[in-house]
Amino acid sequence: MFDFQKIRKITPVLWEIPRSFRDDMRVPARFYSHEAMLHEVGADRALEQLVNVATLPGIQGWALAMPDMHEGYGFPIGGVAAFDRQEGIISPGGIGYDINCGVRLLRTGFAKEEIKDFLRDVGRTIFSHVPSGVGRGGKLSLRRGQDFDAVLLLGARRMLELGYGIEEDLAHIESGGKLEGAQPALVSEHAKYRGRDQLGTMGAGNHFVEVGYVETIFDAAAAQDLHLAQGQVTVLIHTGSRGLGHQVATDYIRLMNRVMENYGIHLPDRELACVPFSSKEGQEYFAAMQAAANFAWANRQLVTCEVREAFQRVFGQETPELSVVYDVAHNIAKVEEYEIKGVRKEVIVHRKGATRAFPGQPVLIPGSMGTASYVLLGQEASLVQSFGSSCHGAGRRMSRTRARRQTSAALLREDLSAQGIVINSGSKRGLAEEAPFAYKDIDDVVDVIHEAGIAKKVARLRPLAVIKG
């Protein structure tokens, strides 16, 4: 349990660990939480990891953690840190293994009452259309070479060129579904091999496709702008760069561990492996990371088309178009500009299990099976407080092993069925690991973000059918 005696309360939802907490800290460490949630915040190594992040070269302002924080690899999940573009570092542990794991929200032309009698068909059909589970491949198998590199270069745009989607989709994706600095040649052949057949697939763990509906509208004007209405059926897609992104992270963590000492970098935790952002290795990783991010956007684009096909299979060819509300990344690094101590600076912002929350931008916060998800809208305060960042979900409160010990797939299915939620999953073990009680209270987490002024609540979604690996 973390020692909270030296932590100061800045606002009712913002706390600071001062630089004096440890001699090697370069900046304070800050985190968002209600006081009642502190026991969960301090239950694992997340705050210790946050303090470690505050020691990294070139860090600006403060190391940050969102209210969904929990222990991760190197950085805590829910961690945000900005490093000077010239003097700072880049760290794969601050981005995560599943590069551009993210969430896409689709709105449909259906009301909840119109599909309630078709939920089992909808769940089964999506489950058959969207391959899921560890190692599962999809219907689109790419040849390594120009065919594959086009996806790494163009992201979601390449899927449109192949006939998967419509031009309007790209207008509602963060960065248009494509990062410009991608260099496919810097992605290893092994990473490409792992990703060769994984476009249009979900994977396992906490990834899912969820059919739900708009249960509550908090801001009628904002909801109208997003074309969301009370009772409207929605679809959330949560997946990332699959094995390709994992291998990119693995390759460059190994590289950085070999060369760090050449740059005089000494770390409190080897999982924070990093190099100067401006170095050859730093720029190569950044370009490979961008390629993996583009692969993830292409993946979610193809999954979107598979979900559209599933709806057409159930409801016929005249099914109203499923439109993209927005698509956000939550394991990524981007060069952005902020005012820090009165000076405008370019920084490389690491968001690991954190979502961009620029003013006016939709922020998608998925819950876990059986709990709500949220649509928020980024606010100006995010640029001052959190390097334009928000939380990305509820955040785990217990390990997967502990969750399995407390329930079974059969019991979980029974409980969710009693709530009217249809479950389709290929793994009993994976289903138990993702039990709702294994996560923090999504309402509490989102309330912290809303009260901090980082993003405001627009709509709350409730699940009807959940499809998992």
Catalytic residues: 392
Report the SS3 class of residue 371: coil
- Of 157, 14, 3, which is closest to residue 449 (Cα–Cα)? 14
CA atoms within 13 A on the CB side of 286: 21
CA atoms within 13 A on the CB side of 375: 35
As given in the structure block, the two tokens for residue 456 are 């405001």
CA atoms within 13 A on the CB side of 227: 13
Report d(CA 255, CA 275) in Å as an integer: 10
- Of 227, 423, 242, which is closest to residue 320 (Cα–Cα)? 227
DSSP 250-262: HHHHHHHHHHGGG
Neighbours of 8 (CB within 10 A): 10
Q: Is the separation of the CB atoms in 289 and 250 below 8 Å?
A: no
- Of 96, 66, 11, 154, which is closest to residue 363 (Cα–Cα)? 66
Report d(CA 300, CA 203) in Å as an integer: 12
Give the E-state strand segments of 71-184 in sequence order. 77-84, 89-90, 102-111
Report d(CA 19, CA 32) in Å as an integer: 17
The identity of residue 175, as a single letter, is S
Q: Is the separation of the CB atoms in 32 and 452 below 8 Å?
A: yes
The most distant pair of C-alpha atoms in the chain lies apart, rounded to whole Å, by: 65
As given in the structure block, the two tokens for residue 96 are 């995560």
Report d(CA 162, CA 153) in Å as an integer: 14
Residue 319 DSSP symbol:
P
As given in the structure block, the two tokens for residue 16 are 């600071």
CA atoms within 13 A on the CB side of 398: 16
Report d(CA 181, CA 160) in Å as an integer: 20
Report d(CA 283, CA 304) in Å as an integer: 32
Size of the chain, expressed as the number of residues it contains: 469
Report d(CA 404, CA 441) in Å as an integer: 19
Q: In what order do the strands lie in the sheet with 77-84?
A: 8-11, 14-17, 29-32, 59-70, 77-84, 343-352, 331-340
